[in-house]
Structure 1
Amino acid sequence: MNTSVHTNAPVLVADAGIPLREILPWAVFGLIMAALLIYFVGAEQGATSLISGHSVHEFVHDGRHLLGFPCH
């Protein structure tokens, strides 16, 4: 005769979260990408232009107006 008791009760495990050392590289990458996006939409083809010509300006032209950056 088997006297052991089996239950199907869920086992609660504490969530440890995501360690900072795993999030930090992605956060830095996201920050760099956001800064580059703001630069190209807001400042490129101005006094701090890195690329000559108007190709970048024309590519982000609608984004400038959407975000409120003046361009003409």
Structure 2
Amino acid sequence: MSIASPSPIAIPIPVRIPLREVLPWAVFIGVLAVVLLYFVGAEQGATSLVSGHYVHEFVHDGRHLLGFPCH
């Protein structure tokens, strides 16, 4: 009987992604994060961009979960 030796495992080579292709998406996600942070953390009262309390009530629980005071 012969014992079969295991075949070598092929290690995948990482693909390089140029910064030109990643940068627009990184900027978009950063702007989206800042806008989301504004609406969750500051959209109420004097700094309100949307009239009424619709945005405040929609993100109310998230605001408390993230530690933003609102009362």
Q: TM-score, normalised by structure 2?
A: 0.78
- Call closer, same or farther: CA 1:45–1:19 in 2, change over 3 Å: same
Task: State how far apart, in whole Å, the 2-side matches of 1:18 and 1:32 are.
Answer: 22
- CA drift of 1:47 comes to 2.2
Task: State how far apart, in whole Å, the 2-side matches of 1:56 and 1:46 are.
Answer: 11
Tell me the alpha carbon deviations over residues 32-62 of structure 1, each in whole angstroms, 9 at most, x when there is no partner. Answer: 1100110000000132110110000000000
Question: Aligned-residue CA RMSD in angstroms?
Answer: 2.1
Is the partner of 2:45 in helix, strand or coil?
coil
Identity percentage of aligned residues: 71
Unaligned runs of 5+ residues in structure 2 are 1-7
The count of corresponding residues between Structure 1 and Structure 2 is 64
Runs of 4 or more consecutive aligned structure 1 residues displaced over 6 Å after TM superposition:
none
Counterpart mapping for 1:1-72 below 5 A = 15-72=14-71
- CA drift of 1:69 comes to 0.2
